Structures are given as structure tokens and as C-alpha cells.
Amino acid sequence: MEFDRPVPLMLRVLHLLRLFIAKIGRFFFVLFNSNEPKRIPPINCDILREPAVTVARKIRRKEITSVEVLEACIRRINDINSALNCFVESRFEEAHKEARAADALIRAGTHSAEQLELEKPFLGVPFTTKDSIGVKGLHQTAGVVLRRDYICEEDADAIKLLRAKGAVIIGTTNVPEACMWWETHNHIYGRTNNPYDTRRMVGGSSGGEGALQGAAGSVFGIGSDIGGSIRMPAYFNGIFGHKPSRNIVSNSGQHPIPKTEYINSFLGVGPMVRHAVDLKPILEIISGENSHKLNLNQPVDVAKCKVFYQINSKAPLTDPVDKDIVKAMHKVLEYLQEKHSIRSEEKEIPLLRKSLAIWFANMKSNETFGSLIMKDNTVFGTLKEIVKNIFGCSGNTLIALFTALFDFGGVQYESDRYKHYQKLRDELENTFTKMLGDDGVFLYPTHPTPALYHNEPVLRSMNFAYTAIINCLGFPATTVPLGLSCDGLPIGIQVIANHNNDRLCLAFAEELEKGFGGWIEPHTSTKERKD
């Protein structure tokens, strides 16, 4: 079989050359970033440290008001946003009206706390979402200058479902241009910084949401993921993020929206939270009519689950997995062995070496990436924009322009090579489906390194292979934080299960949070964190 063949010599040489360039680059990035990061203030309101389900319960029981929680979020956003640049547009005035209405409903006493929990489980709870997910009355730019004046006329389906259950949307967060890069930066709102070290990136495309949640700026968040866009920002910012099983949560109301049902199945809307206990109730709401397919309320006995793991994908042009992440993975395996007598089985799945080739080929369609960000979507037009960018005159980011340029090459849509990679995708999905069954999970790195310095992903651009392949296969996956690296940056892994077995991912997320502490509040400086 093709995947059993050795990696071609030229590709091995390119891989070694890229690793060498990345290592040299890291030296200069460290040198350039020798200054202290910006400080963010400590959290000064305990309610922002609480799970969303706890906040909701306290609001229902009149222990705290929705208005008080909203104002705590607004203060926190104002405190951190100058340093992080993660929050891009507010609807604070409308949110205040909705919070007051929630408090009035509770005071009226026409519904018991039990009724409210059943009918409006997140009544009065403030939340945020990324700029590319539609919120009525707010801009929906997706970081594209051509869309800077676009105002959304209605809520995306996921937002609509949450608001129907009482949640209060308070604003939107930053994304990379057209949501197709894993550092959050665009020419409308600028670059977003990591709350654990502002010299570092936050991931993408739900990067602004990841940073806001990591810094406790709202009670919970909603992101979307087509190649790791929930899981990577969750990982880099030390929170939990869940990409649901394919075709479970509606993608309606996002921009850009995939033009084919096939690619649409790779995209998933999901929760981004500081506490694992919030994942399930949020997922149940945003799944809408499909929630019954997930059997989320079916109990999971972690001790009776099979656990498989792989530490390195061995995909060409990706970095080896950082030693701190390897150590964290082994600690997880030891914990499961000691607490639940689970003997985890190490796997080496050969087709994971082709993760990038499979994802890139399967993402092809008749629509080119350039058409999302430029009026002149030709090779010449793209090259012209690249030249303009060098002189600071382009509305597009350089990485988006190169992405548009590369889109003219590679595997062509509906070609024989395209169909070949579709077959490889199907074969890999089959391998996982048989391995996982209805009681198995696969532990896998979310990313091979902790958060990089700003712009450094250009030298390590293929590291998203660990998340992207899971989108192609349609499996649910949850990023779980596992503490901090030796540099004080969040690290973790992703837990993957079979189709519609999201509850297994969520159960393991809750179990590992108990064992490893979950989200760690960002400290105010790198020095204090090390001390």
C-alpha cells in the first residue's frame, strides 16, 4: 500500500531543512522578544472563576443577578482588552436590557428554579462568540477588509438556540483573515495576544475567543472548527474546547460557509469553556434537533472504556512533539492506570503520516480561497496584492495572500489525485471506526508545541496536522488542558471518540480535569508564574 512506502528522499530533505530553519528562527524570535510581556490584571470577581452551570444556578436562586454577572464580564473585558486585543465588538446596551429582563422574570416568581433550569438553563448567563459567527446587529467581517461594513441581519443557528435558552450574547471576538490561519491577526482589528504571555500567539481561527475565555472575559464562548479552529486556541489559552461529531451542530450563519456539503461536514460549531462540566449542557443546546443522536445523558464509566494513544503523527514538515507535552501524555496514561486500572494501548497509525495531504486535498472545491478576500482573484491579482502588502498598502495579510496563491496549485478538485485522497480519507476513517468502537477513545496531541511567538507559525506552518485530520474524519474531539510548560504556557492533549460518541470525550475531559486541575488562571507576569 502507498502509505507503507518510505517517505521520498526530497520530502525528507525538505523536512530536515524546515526543522533547521525553524530552529534558527526560534533563536531570533527569542532575541526579538526579550522584553517583558504586557501585564494583565488578576481576576477580581470570583463569579468569573465559576463554571457557567454554577453561575446559571446562582442567578436562578437569586444568589446573584444577571446584571451583576454581566457587569463583571464588562469590567473584565475592559481590564484585559488593551493588552490582549481579543474582544472586537460589543452589544453591552442590548445585553443589559436582556439581563434586566432575566432578573425580572426570576423576581416575578412565575417559574420555579426547577422550571427555569428545565426551560431556560442558561437564563441570564453572558457569553461571547467569534466574529465569523453571526450575531444580529453586529459586524460579521471574518477579518476580511472587504466585509468591514457588513452587519449581520440575524443570529447564527447556534447563537439563536442559546439565546432561546436564556443566555445573553455580549459581543464578538477576533479571528484571522477569512478564518484560514492559526494565528489570529487581520487588517481590521489587528493581532490578538496570549493571556499567559502577550508576546505569544493565541491560535486560530477562534483565537480571540480562546484568549477571552483563558482570561475569564465572559462566562463561556462559542467557536467553530474546520482544521483545529476551536481546539488549537483552546489549547494555546489553557481552556477546554470541543469540536462536535460531523453534521450535528448547524453551521448556518457562519462566514465563510463551505460551498459543498462534503466540506461542510468538516466544519463544526462548539463550546469553549474554562470548566469541563460546561461542555455537555452547551453542546446539548446547540445540537438542537440532533441532540438525541449524541445520547449525552447516557452515563459513561471511564473505567470501562478502552484507551488508545499516539504521540507523534510523523507527518512530514511538522515539528516533533515537545517534551513537556510528551511528559503530560505519559502522566495521563499513568493516572488512568492508577485510578481506573486502564491499560492504554499505544498505536502507530501509518496513514496519520499523510494527515496534511489528505486534509489539503479534501478541502478543495470550485471556490478558491482568494475569492473570499480579494476582488481580483487571479494569480496576477494575488501577486500584485503581495507586492502592495510588502509596502504596507494591502488590506490583506501576507499569510492570507500566500494561502490564496498556493490554492492555485496542489491537487485539483475532482481530479484523479483528489479522488485518491478521498479514498485514503475513507480508509483512515475506517481504521479509527474499527479501533474505537462504541467504548474507545484516542488520546493525541492537539499541537506539537506550546504557543509560539507572534509570526513564528510561518516557519512551522504545517503543525496544525494534529487537529486538521480529525475534521476530515468527522470525529468528535475535545482539547483538555494539562497544566503549564516549563515556560509557563498552557499544554494539553485532545480526546477523540467515534462518530456521535461525544459523551466519551466529555467524560474524559471531566475526569482529567479532576486529575490535573484544568484551567489555570493566568498570572500577571512570566516572572511571577515561574516563581
Residues assigned a catalytic role: 130, 205, 229
Number of continuous H segments (helices) and E segments (strands) in the chain:
19, 13
Type of residue at 311: I
Long-range contacts of the stretch 116-120 (C-beta < 8 A, 24+): 116/60, 116/166, 117/56, 117/57, 117/60, 119/165, 120/165, 120/166
Type of residue at 218: S
Q: Are 446 and 466 in contact (CB under 8 A)?
A: yes
Which DSSP string corresponds to 160-181? HHHHHTT-EEEEEE---GGG-S
Spatial CA neighbour of 433 closest among 310, 333, 308: 308
Element (H, E) at 280: helix 279-286
Element (H, E) at 380: helix 379-390
Beta strands (DSSP E) in 91-215 are 126-130, 168-173, 185-186, 190-191
State the sign of the Cα–Cα–Cα–Cα dihedral 313, 468, 284, 492: positive
Which DSSP string corresponds to 391-433? TT--SS-HHHHHHHHHTTSSSPTTSHHHHHHHHHHHHHHHHHH
| Cross-strand partners of 186 | 190
Rg (CA), the chain: 22
As to burial, measured by CB atoms within 10 angstroms (0-12 exposed, 13-18 middle, 19+ buried), residue 254 is: buried
Angle made by CA atoms 357, 358, 364, in degrees to the nearest 5: 95
* Nearest 10 degrees: Cα torsion 317, 323, 327, 332: -30
